[in-house]
Chain A
Amino acid sequence: SYDLAQPPSVSVSPGQTASITCSGNELGSRYVSWYQQKPGQSPVLVIYRDNKRPSGVPERFSGSNSGNTAALTISGTQTMDEADYYCQAWDRRTAVFGSGTKVTVL
Chain B
Amino acid sequence: QVQLVQSGAEVRKPGASVKVSCQPSGYSFSANYMQWLRQAPGQGLEWIGWINPNSGGTHYSQKFRGRVTMTRDTATSTAYMELSRLQSNDTAVYFCARDAGFGGEGWFDPWGQGTLVTVSS
Contacts and interface: CB of A to CB of B under 8 A. Distances in A.
Interface residues of A, number: 20
B108 A45 contact: yes
B111 A86 contact: no
A90 B105 contact: yes
Contacts of B46: 97
Given A42-B95, A48-B100, A94-B61, A100 B44 contact: yes
Interface residues of B, number: 24
B68 to A, nearest CB: 14
Given A93-B104, A94-B62, A45 B109 contact: yes
Nearest to A42: B111
A28 interface: no
Q: Label chain A's interface by main secondary structure.
A: strand
A33 interface: yes
A99 B113 CA distance: 21
Contacts of B111: 42-44
Interface string A37-50: 00000111100110
B45 A35 contact: yes
Given A42-B95, A48-B100, A94-B62, A33 B107 contact: yes
Interface of A: 33, 35, 42-45, 48-49, 54, 86, 88, 90, 93-100
25 contacts: A42-B95, A42-B110, A42-B114, A43-B95, A43-B97, A43-B108, A44-B110, A45-B109, A45-B110, A48-B100, A48-B101, A48-B106, A48-B107, A48-B109, A49-B107, A54-B109, A88-B108, A90-B105, A93-B104, A94-B61, A94-B62, A95-B37, A95-B47, A100-B44, A100-B45
Interface of B: 35, 37, 44-47, 59, 61-62, 95, 97, 100-101, 104-114
